[in-house]
Chains A and B, each alone.
Chain A
Amino acid sequence: MASAPSKLYADDVSLLMVLLDTNPLFWSTSSLPFSNFLSHVLSFLNSILLLNQLNQVAVIATGYNSCDYIFDSSVSTSRGLENGRMPALCSNLLQKLEEFVVRDEQLCKEGSENGLASSLLSGSLSMALCYIQKIFRSGPLHPQPRILCLQGSSDGPEQYVAIMNAIFSAQRSMVPIDSCYLGSNNSAFLQQASYITGGVYLKPQQPDGLFQYLSTVFATDLHSRTFLQLPKSVGVDFRASCFCHKKTIDMGYICSVCLSIFCKHHKKCSTCGN
């Protein structure tokens, strides 16, 4: 039966990894309420699955203290809580999301409350990339993966190294990282991610129309993107953060051996020891 699936397999089959930002501190102060946000996202996921029978979607929640898979369309579940108001997939997702938030809150009680309100983007990126690698090894016919980050909280400079590593491995695997940033200012990390991997970075001017943005810009598969003109960002903020204090810096010192960035002059590089 290899021929039949290959006939069905078109260029535009895609696997979409959605990284959902569930940082409570951001959502409590956001202009767009979390429930509206969720409705936009759920409708969007539905439409993705409608575009092609073989499309796959996986959702990872980026929490304050942890990240976890919330939804996977390739995993068929029998727990179809069809209550007439929403399709089954939504209820599954929401259920899992609620459980995740509870777990995340429990983790929070042990941790401290210092630092900026940033979510663990690096963790969810890494998980997404691992999932994609699994898909790559699933056989000759696999959908084309891409990652969509729905992020609202600001960048945590302490995650700079991990995020950059993830970005470069995505670049190497040719997985574009799209980002839709809902926060107030621009996110340097996401801009760099989209720039380097060839994805689209968008900061919606009207958060009420989020679904329109998602379906116009982010719904197209990779093959069709070659025919479309998607919004390009005018400038990219290429600032890095230093490895010692995790501060964002414009100018600093670099180790000539391993290219680690420091804000102050160090006699010995902490990364490679030179």
Chain B
Amino acid sequence: MSSGEVIKRAKYKTSVKDPGTPGVLKMTEQKFLFNPNDPSSVTKLDVEFAHIKGHKHTKEGSNKPPWLNLTHDQGGSYIFEFQSFADLHVYREFVGNALAKSGEAAKAASTAKVTSSTKVASEKSAVSFPDEQLSTAEMELRMNLLREDSELQKLHKQFVIGGVLTESEFWATRKKLLDVDNRGKLKQRVGFKSTMILDTKPMADGRTNKVTFNLTPEIKYQIFVLKPAVHQAFLNLVPSKMTEKDFWTKYFRAEYLHSTKNAITVAAEAAEDEELAIFLKEDNILAREARRKIRRVDPTLDMEADLGDDYTHLPDHGIFRDGTKEISETQHEQYMRTLSQDLNRQGAVVLEGRTVDVDLEDPRTVAEALVRSRQELDGDKTQERLDRLSRMTDIEDLREPLDHPFAPLCIKDPRDYFDAQQANALKTLDDARNKMEQTKRNLSIDEAYGSLRDSISKIKTMGLSDPIVKPEVALSVLNGLTQNISSSKFQLGKNSRESILDGLPNTTKHELMHHWMSIQELLRHFWSSYPITTTSLHTKVSRLKDAMSQTYRQLEEIKESVQSDFRHKVSLLVRPMHQALDAAFQHYDADQQKRSSKGEPLNGFV
């Protein structure tokens, strides 16, 4: 329909029962107008197609009159009755086109809306985006991830919106999560179906004596790949000598003749029609290739082959298609195909896969592309073989996903393994003491022995003291021991099923867990920024430090606010967090001291 509008007589009905007001219905691409014949009537319509949801019509063969029903997107409908079904069809096509066009426009409008909304959202959620160009797909992925994982969302809100971390830093440690979506895309190279064309049977219409073959571009491609002789013929004959349609008709005629398995008729027909003979004869190209391959076997095959393996030309070989063993007449031999040949060829093609990635619509382009690919193959033999080898051994979608090769940062407290701090303190204390003692000793090793002996004689004379231990001292010792033993630190770990966290009230538990997650996140970024080499790292570290001190204070508050029953448990839980933060603070202070003691800043460090 090249014209932009249609004008015809029609009757407008508001409902099915309505007799209808006669008038003229004019349709353009954007809207339709209805003007009744009677100028005094009120039913004038001027509706844009943007508001029309869909259209229905009555069928030609039914007893109903030709009606077209346009449904309004607000629920109503407009029914038009036409004078004939031909008019109806005209209008129907027009309405279809118009709706399609308006649908696209609507879609364009809605996508524009979507992108603007995401932009707005991103502006809201991001603090600054100067250094990153994100595609909308990535933005959506991040928002999805945040939506799904509430923990992640909380962390994100706390840090990114609170200004402690930038968006890029936050996601930098979560590359694995972002990568997940990529793996969803199929990296498979889809090859041919293994049945290829052998399973498509023609439809035979017994009444009209017609046999119908269905032909799609895919099937054409498969035929070209399977039968190089047909491919060659196509290139030669179409479009110079015959049209495509004729070509395929001849081809299918040949197929049909083959399927009758009557070798004599086949020979007769081949003698008559030269082009038909191409299809009926043995595929020369294939035969040549097979002979070549037999001479030089592909290393991926790894079998020993020689001319003696060419069994296809032995007599009495091959199961014929209908299962009967016909003793072939040699003159007609070339018009017969054997099932094994077909199967082998099919198998070879399927395994090779699609070598050409071309739009299948135009068989001419497909044919040419195939020729090109075959020519390339013929070129450099060894290179081709190497390519084939590499293609076969590298099956991408069966490979494991490429994981970023890193070990996750695990921040542990060295005091778990040794009483290292204590030992260090001890060492210094011991050294100090030993120095003291050494000075003492150098003077008095004899005196020491003397005093020892004196003590022994003293006790010998005095006897055992009475009482041995003063009662108050004994009592305090006993109390101390029992308190020590009964304190909860020894009760922990006794009952494996019960955990400390479960014993705490829910709010405290969630708070503590959240603090733990946020501390891990902060520490991860903190420790990864050392050694500080740029000013951006420096600012990042100071930001992190402020956030950490805030968390520290919050933890203290939690400890104090908790009931006395749970206080010890909570303090036990909070202690490793405090220790980790303390270690970080210590490192920060030490680093600051070093920096300030260096004096003049070097190279513009702040």
Question: Is A98 among interface residues, defined by CB-CB distance under 8 A?
Answer: yes
Known contacts being A39-B468, A211-B468, is A105 close to B449, with CB within 8 Å?
yes
- Say whether B490 contacts A229, CB under 8 Å: yes
- Give the contact stretch, choosing among A52-60, A89-97, A266-274: A89-97
- Give the contact stretch, choosing among B184-192, B440-448, B500-508: B440-448
Chain B interface size, as a band, is: 35 or more
What 1/0 mask marks residues of chain A from 7 to 49 whose CB sits below 8 Å from any chain B CB?
Answer: 0000000000000001011011100011110111011000000
- Say whether B449 contacts A101, CB under 8 Å: yes
- List B residues 414-469 near A (Cβ within 8 Å): 417-420, 422-423, 426-427, 429-430, 433-434, 437, 440-442, 444-449, 451-453, 455-460, 462-465, 468-469
Question: Is A86 among interface residues, defined by CB-CB distance under 8 A?
Answer: yes
- Say whether A34 contacts B455, CB under 8 Å: yes
Question: Is A186 among interface residues, defined by CB-CB distance under 8 A?
Answer: yes
User: How long is the Cα–Cα vector from A250 to B559 in the complex, in angstroms?
Assistant: 34
CB < 8 Å: which of B434, B442, B460 contacts A116? Answer: B434
- Say whether A38 contacts B448, CB under 8 Å: no
How far is the CB of B306 from the nearest CB of chain A, in Å?
57
- Say whether B456 contacts A184, CB under 8 Å: no
- Say whether B468 contacts A43, CB under 8 Å: yes
Question: Is B409 among interface residues, defined by CB-CB distance under 8 A?
Answer: no
- Say whether A231 contacts B469, CB under 8 Å: no
- Say whether A28 contacts B444, CB under 8 Å: yes
User: How long is the Cα–Cα vector from A101 to B460 in the complex, in angstroms?
Assistant: 15
User: How long is the Cα–Cα vector from A117 to B442 in the complex, in angstroms?
Assistant: 12
Q: How many A-B residue pairs have CB under 8 A?
A: 143
Task: Specify the chain B residue showing the minimal Cβ separation from A206.
Answer: B477
How far is the CB of B191 from the nearest CB of chain A, in Å?
53
- Say whether A211 contacts B469, CB under 8 Å: yes
Interface centre among B433, B442, B446, B462 (most CB of A within 10 A): B433
- Say whether A94 contacts B445, CB under 8 Å: no
CB < 8 Å: which of A38, A40, A108, A208 contacts B456? Answer: A38
Q: List 23 A-B contacts (CB under 8 A).
A: A24-B445, A25-B440, A28-B440, A34-B452, A43-B464, A83-B463, A86-B463, A97-B456, A98-B460, A113-B445, A185-B429, A186-B419, A186-B422, A204-B477, A209-B469, A209-B470, A212-B469, A212-B473, A216-B481, A230-B485, A232-B490, A238-B418, A250-B418
Interface of A is mostly: helix
How far is the CB of A247 from the nearest CB of chain B, in Å?
10
Known contacts being A216-B478, A217-B481, A229-B485, is A39 close to B459, with CB within 8 Å?
yes
Task: Specify the chain A residue showing the minimal Cβ separation from B425.
Answer: A185
Question: Is A257 among interface residues, defined by CB-CB distance under 8 A?
Answer: no
- Say whether A25 contacts B441, CB under 8 Å: yes
How far is the CB of A187 from the nearest CB of chain B, in Å?
10
Question: Is A2 among interface residues, defined by CB-CB distance under 8 A?
Answer: no
- Say whether B442 contacts A113, CB under 8 Å: yes
Question: Is A172 among interface residues, defined by CB-CB distance under 8 A?
Answer: no
Residues of A within 8 A of B455 (CB): 27, 33-35, 38
Q: Which 9 A-B pairs have the closest CB atoms?
A: A85-B463, A24-B448, A209-B477, A34-B455, A212-B477, A35-B455, A209-B473, A212-B474, A105-B449
User: How long is the Cα–Cα vector from A113 to B458 in the complex, in angstroms?
Assistant: 27
User: How long is the Cα–Cα vector from A237 to B415 in the complex, in angstroms?
Assistant: 10
Task: Specify the chain B residue showing the minimal Cβ separation from A28.
Answer: B448
User: How long is the Cα–Cα vector from A204 to B442 in the complex, in angstroms?
Assistant: 30
Task: Specify the chain A residue showing the minimal Cβ separation from B489.
Answer: A234
User: How long is the Cα–Cα vector from A209 to B479 in the complex, in angstroms?
Assistant: 12
- Say whether B484 contacts A231, CB under 8 Å: yes
Q: In the complex, how many residues of chain A place their beta carbon closer than 8 angstroms to a beta carbon of chain B? A: 59
Task: Specify the chain A residue showing the minimal Cβ separation from B486.
Answer: A229
Residues of B within 8 A of A211 (CB): 468-469, 474
Task: Specify the chain A residue showing the minimal Cβ separation from B431.
Answer: A116
Residues of A within 8 A of B452 (CB): 22, 24, 27-28, 34, 101
Question: Is B480 among interface residues, defined by CB-CB distance under 8 A?
Answer: yes
User: How long is the Cα–Cα vector from A98 to B480 in the complex, in angstroms?
Assistant: 35
Question: Is B63 among interface residues, defined by CB-CB distance under 8 A?
Answer: no
Residues of A within 8 A of B420 (CB): 250
Residues of A within 8 A of B458 (CB): 35
- Say whether B469 contacts A40, CB under 8 Å: yes
- Say whether A25 contacts B448, CB under 8 Å: yes
User: How long is the Cα–Cα vector from A34 to B450 in the complex, in angstroms?
Assistant: 12
Question: Is B476 among interface residues, defined by CB-CB distance under 8 A?
Answer: yes
User: How long is the Cα–Cα vector from A22 to B315 in the complex, in angstroms?
Assistant: 110
User: How long is the Cα–Cα vector from A102 to B469 in the complex, in angstroms?
Assistant: 29
Known contacts being A208-B473, A209-B477, is A237 close to B453, with CB within 8 Å?
no
Residues of A within 8 A of B468 (CB): 39-40, 43, 211
Residues of A within 8 A of B446 (CB): 105
What 1/0 mask marks residues of chain A from 80 to 121 whose CB sits below 8 Å from any chain B CB?
Answer: 000111100011001001100110110010000100110000
Question: Is A245 among interface residues, defined by CB-CB distance under 8 A?
Answer: no
Residues of B within 8 A of A36 (CB): 465
Question: Is A74 among interface residues, defined by CB-CB distance under 8 A?
Answer: no
- Say whether A98 contacts B485, CB under 8 Å: no
What 1/0 mask marks residues of chain A from 175 to 217 whose CB sits below 8 Å from any chain B CB?
Answer: 0000000001110100000000000000011101111110011
How far is the CB of A42 from the nearest CB of chain B, in Å?
6
Residues of B within 8 A of A205 (CB): 477, 480
Residues of A within 8 A of B448 (CB): 24-25, 27-28
User: How long is the Cα–Cα vector from A206 to B437 in the complex, in angstroms?
Assistant: 23
How far is the CB of A130 from the nearest CB of chain B, in Å?
26
Known contacts being A185-B429, A237-B419, is A39 close to B453, with CB within 8 Å?
no
Task: Specify the chain A residue showing the minimal Cβ separation from B480.
Answer: A205
Residues of B within 8 A of A42 (CB): 464
Question: Is A122 among interface residues, defined by CB-CB distance under 8 A?
Answer: no
- Say whether B442 contacts A184, CB under 8 Å: no
- Say whether A94 contacts B460, CB under 8 Å: yes
User: How long is the Cα–Cα vector from A105 to B452 in the complex, in angstroms?
Assistant: 10
